[in-house]
Amino acid sequence: MMELDQLRGGLVVSCQAYPGEPLRTPDVTARMVQAVVEGGARAVRVQGIADVRAAVGATDVPVVGLWKDGDDDVFITPTLRHALAVAEAGAHVVAVDGTRRTRPDGLTLAETITALKAEHDVAVMADCGSLDDAREAEQAGADILGTTLSGYTGERPRTDGPDLDLITLVHGTCSAPVMAEGRVHRPDQAAAALAAGAFAVCVGTAITHPTTITGWFREALG
């Protein structure tokens, strides 16, 4: 398993384009990965098997891989099959749904993590939506607790910026490192997330999603 400490205090950049979008090709993702690494990203987060493979081939920094699938509640690397495929694509960290919701294959998070780790020497990031999720995910064997799903599962409000309260709560309750992720839109919010107890901060949209960023500016113009 990779040395997680190399991420401590660092920035992770999520490089995702969504299905049907103009930038959604593995080649563009690979170039985006290289661009953010040049800017100082300590690791990258990439969605989809082809994109994970392309990212692993394009950089030396660790790749957090995930596979979003389905329209159900649980869509971030929802099953063991998805998790194994992400690991086989070369991800150093496999991000999985880390909520307490029923998974489509009927396995528990603990069963999923155990079976994945039996086959691959990977770290597991649990994408959580609440403190209870984080507690259970740590018990289940997750190496990193992400606040990724805060505001998207009904357990926490969708704050304007990152859910600093949840970061503080998880950091104060759990021993596993906390990845602040979700709605970190400005550098000062990233710094605030670290100050709240995050061990690293993952930023997506505000760095790698020009369509959304363009919309922010357009709206400001009225």
Ligand X SMILES: CC(=O)N[C@H](C=O)[C@@H](O)[C@H](O)[C@H](O)COP(=O)(O)O
Q: Does 52 bind ligand X (CB under 6 A)?
A: no
The least CB distance from residue 118 to ligand X, in Å, is 25
Among 16, 29, 99, 112, indicate the residue that binds ligand X (CB under 6 A). 16
Nearer to ligand X, 130 or 148 (CB): 148
Among 140, 183, 199, 200, indicate the residue that binds ligand X (CB under 6 A). 183
CB contact at 8 A, 41 and 58: no
Nearer to ligand X, 147 or 222 (CB): 147
d(CA 164, CA 193): 6
Q: How many residues comprise the chain?
A: 222
Distances, alpha carbon 29 to alpha carbons 54, 129, 147, in Å: 7, 26, 23
Which uninterrupted H or E stretch holds 195? Answer: helix 187-195
How open is the CA angle 116-121-124, to the nearest 5 degrees?
A: 60
Which amino acid appears at position 203 of this protein? V
Among 131, 170, 184, 192, indicate the residue that binds ligand X (CB under 6 A). 184
Among 147, 148, 153, 189, indicate the residue that binds ligand X (CB under 6 A). 148
The stretch near ligand X (CB under 6 A) out of 19-27, 85-93, 172-180, 197-205 is 197-205
Among 65, 78, 98, 204, indicate the residue that binds ligand X (CB under 6 A). 204
The least CB distance from residue 157 to ligand X, in Å, is 14
Q: Which of residues 97-136 bind ligand X (CB under 6 A)?
A: none
45 CA to centre of own chain = 6
Eight-state DSSP code of residue 102:
P
3-state secondary structure of 22: coil
Placement of tokens 């490089």 in the chain: 15
Among 7, 12, 13, 14, indicate the residue that binds ligand X (CB under 6 A). 14
The stretch near ligand X (CB under 6 A) out of 35-43, 116-124, 132-140, 179-187 is 179-187
Placement of tokens 């082809």 in the chain: 50
The least CB distance from residue 109 to ligand X, in Å, is 17
